[in-house]
Amino acid sequence: MSEQHRASGVAGEALAHLPPDFVVTRPRRRDLWDTVLGMLDDVAERINLDPGIHAILRQPERELTVAVPVRMDDGPIRVFTGYRIQHSSARGPCKGGIRYHPAVCPNEVRALAALMTWKCAVVGIPYGGAKGGVQCDPKQMSREEICRLTRRFTSMIMPILGPRRDIPAPDVNTDAQIMAWIADTVCMLQNVATMEIVTGKPVSLGGSQGRKEATGRGVALITTELLKRQRRRLSETTVAIQGYGNVGSAAAKILNQLGCRVVAVSDISGGLYAPGGLEINAIDRHVDSHPGRLLEGFHAPGVDRISNHELLTSKVDVLIPAALEHQIHADNAPQVQATMVVEAANGPTTPEADKVLHDRGIVVVPDILANAGGVVVSYFEWVQNMQCFFWEEAEVNRHLKRIMVQAFQRVWELSERHHVPLRLGAYMLAVGEVANAVQTRGIFP
């Protein structure tokens, strides 16, 4: 739909005296970038942030938009639009994933880059935030087309990448193979072995043990810490997970192993519900064998099909949104029956919904804390690559648990001390850390 439209109806009559070529611009709908800026502005006021530093943090340091021409398998050339946005390098090299999705746009990438800045600060790793993406539908593309897209996109954004500048990682619709193509492209163009240019790559190319499950494992660790604070037993806890991709499936598997009862899961094909608990191993086998890696077609005794809306409003103890942003909004927040929400996705709750959940006494663990496990183990991978010394998976998981638990404790204690929700506490911690780095470094020149 066009961003502009001619005034019509009552409004058109009211504006009849204006020139015939007058055009009314439709207001832009609030998006994730608005949400991120709104939270930053709120925190800036609460912590009395210096206005100059506040202004610095309100906009990305660098934005790159590129045209990505790709020859398709059937012959014609299509030109895709790609982005790489670096929000802050005050605390270290920029870090953030690359996603392939039809909805990729500048404001989404800006928001996700800023969230990475806060996420790295919350867990105390020496990175700033970046994000990238290409506006495309990879589900309608062959693997060869995706390979050509990846290599051309990499060559276009390569001037701002580097192991001490900006290190990409997997995100929505990208994986270890795509990271391998990115690394190989950089190595070929620079004529130097630099596999540390990305994280989340195959273990055979220097990837870290435990990286694939890291985000989901972090979500599970944060969930268990929250349950301890709520004096809840794992064996008596029911869980619903929206989104059964890499993050949601790993969280489901680990929470199930810890004793929680995962009663509902869903993806774009719909959801599954079993009040007695789902057989996660059987579901994983089905997803692995499905051509689209979907829950679609899974059948088992006692398992009912449900919609994503029914999952989000199901009667469970813990709701884990692990899909895309703004899934919990003003319309469905009043119907959420979970007593705890752990945000595995980036920005899954709108500000309006967040207020509704808070007013109803529902505890929300924010995304910048809950899903930080992926960037923590990406940091481990980067460290291992730089040192050319690799860790066993048990060591990776041990360090991940230490960092996630410490981060949760810091956020919990700060939130209690200031009598604020966990989201606000996490942002106060993160913005304070980044602001301190900017202040200490000073403004160049």
CATH number at residue 323: 3.40.50.720
Residue-wise pLDDT for 320-361, tens only, equals 999 988 999 999 999 999 999 999 998 999 999 999 999 999
Active site residue 201: no
Residue 318 and residue 341 share a domain: yes
Residue 218 and residue 148 share a domain: no
Give the domain range for residue 179: 61-203
Residue 2 has what pLDDT? 40
Residue 5 has what pLDDT? 41
Residue 216 and residue 193 share a domain: no
130, β-bridge pairs: 86
Q: Is 200 helix (H, G, I), strand (E, B) or coil?
A: coil
CA dist 80 and 68 (Å) reads 5
Q: Whole-model pTM above 0.95?
A: no
Percentage of the residues of the chain whose pLDDT score is greater than 90? 91
Residue-wise pLDDT for 85-131, tens only, equals 999 999 999 999 999 999 999 999 999 999 999 999 999 999 999 99
Residue 241 and residue 184 share a domain: no
Domain presence at residue 410:
yes
Residue 339 has what pLDDT? 97
CA dist 350 and 152 (Å) reads 35
Residue 208 has pLDDT above 90, yes or no: yes
pLDDT band at 29, cuts 50/70/90? Answer: low
CATH number at residue 89: 3.40.50.10860
Tokens describing residue 121:
């600060």
What total number of domains does the chain contain?
2
Mean pLDDT in residue range 163-170: 96
Residue 198 and residue 213 share a domain: no
Q: Is 266 helix (H, G, I), strand (E, B) or coil?
A: strand
Residue-wise pLDDT for 219-266, tens only, equals 999 999 999 999 999 999 999 999 999 999 999 999 999 999 999 999
What residue type is assigned to position 39 of the chain?
A: M
Instruction: Find all residues with CB under 8 Å of 344, minimum gap 6, and list them.
Output: 215, 216, 219, 241, 243, 247, 248, 251, 320, 321, 322, 367, 370, 371
Domain presence at residue 428:
yes
Residue 222 and residue 91 share a domain: no
Containing H/E element for 166? strand 166-170
Residue 392 and residue 422 share a domain: yes
Residue 3 has what pLDDT? 40
Mean pLDDT in residue range 47-51: 96
Q: Which of 290, 291, 212, 227 is nearest to 258 (CA)?
A: 227
Helices (H), 230-272: 246-258
Residue 197 and residue 234 share a domain: no
Domain presence at residue 80:
yes
- Choose the final residue of a domain: 203, 220, 250: 203
- Choose the final residue of a domain: 143, 175, 203: 203
Domain presence at residue 161:
yes
pLDDT band at 66, cuts 50/70/90? Answer: very high
Residue 418 has what pLDDT? 96
Residue 199 and residue 213 share a domain: no
What residue type is assigned to position 160 of the chain?
A: I
Residue 30 has what pLDDT? 76
Domain presence at residue 2:
no
Of residues 1 and 83, more confidently modeled: 83
Helices (H), 124-245: 143-157, 176-190, 214-229
Mean pLDDT in residue range 261-287: 96
- Average pLDDT for the chain: 93
Domain presence at residue 40:
no
Residue 1 has what pLDDT? 42
Tokens describing residue 160:
């701002």
Domain presence at residue 445:
yes
Residue 320 and residue 411 share a domain: yes
Residue 155 has pLDDT above 70, yes or no: yes
CA dist 213 and 342 (Å) reads 17
Residue 439 and residue 345 share a domain: yes
Phi, psi (rounded to 5 degrees) for 258: -75, -10
Handedness of CA 170, 211, 255, 343 (dihedral sign): negative
Catalytic-labelled residue, pool 95, 131, 201, 253:
131
Residue 170 and residue 145 share a domain: yes
Domain presence at residue 133:
yes
Residue 9 has pLDDT above 50, yes or no: no
Residue 292 has what pLDDT? 86
Mean pLDDT in residue range 272-294: 95
